[in-house]
Amino acid sequence: MATFIPSNPSIAATKAGGVEGAAGAAPAAAASRGLALTQIQNVVVDVGATMVIPTVVRAGEEVKSPQLNTDKVSDLVTRLVPITRIKVPRVVSQSIPAGTRIPKGTPVDLVLVPVSDIDFSLLTTVHDDLKTKTIESMLPLLSDPAVDPILKKGSVDNLTDAEKATLTSKLAPLGVTVDNTVSGKSLSLAFQSLQSAKAFQ
């Protein structure tokens, strides 16, 4: 059990809109000015007396935690090197839609995929020429000093003609053709696709 006590639970004085007084006098004074006061109470949070041991289930069967040799684990840790950010798995789906209120203890299945294995075809809005390309292959373009400030402008409508030309020329060597007369190859789609990809940087 953990008990959290405010640093000053009695609220010795209250100042609001020019009202000042002791805790006993403040409510009346504040009420005359239409102010609402909230009395801070001690808050008690019961976190349980025993440790909760989670149950891991895989393919319908409980997974028992293996007993590891702590000395060998320590030796392994000293020889490990940090993985690159591009290899860090990202959540691409979950069994319960985001923002859904669920009861405590409800299991949620997450699907995590390294950025190196995510391609543009997973995006809802994407340029046709990017559908077969991986997010990883476009990361150098996203960090290009000439492209990064362009993608921060929110919408292709906010770009100048020079910026539109720059983005179009940067995409061309990567096999991405911009043609505003073709619905699936517009600059707007390319811009939106690259903006979405920035979430995986």
pLDDT tens digits, 161-188: 999 999 999 999 999 999 999 989 999 9
Highest mean pLDDT among 35-39, 51-55, 98-102, 126-130: 126-130
Phi, psi torsion values for 44, nearest 5 degrees: -115, 125
More confident residue, 19 or 84: 84
3 state DSSP class of 57: strand
Residue 20 has pLDDT above 50, yes or no: no
Residue 143 has pLDDT above 80, yes or no: yes
State what percent of residues in the chain have pLDDT above 90.
Answer: 36
Over the chain, what is the mean pLDDT? 80
Residue partners of 62: CB distance under 8 A and separation at least 6: 55, 56
Asked if 19 contacts 25 with a C-beta cutoff of 8 angstroms, the reply is no
Whether the predicted model's global pTM rises above the 0.85 cut: no
Report residue 61 CA to chain centroid gap: 31
- Residue recorded with tokens 């991405």: 176
Cα distances (angstroms) measured from residue 173 to each of 81, 141, 168, 169: 34, 11, 10, 8
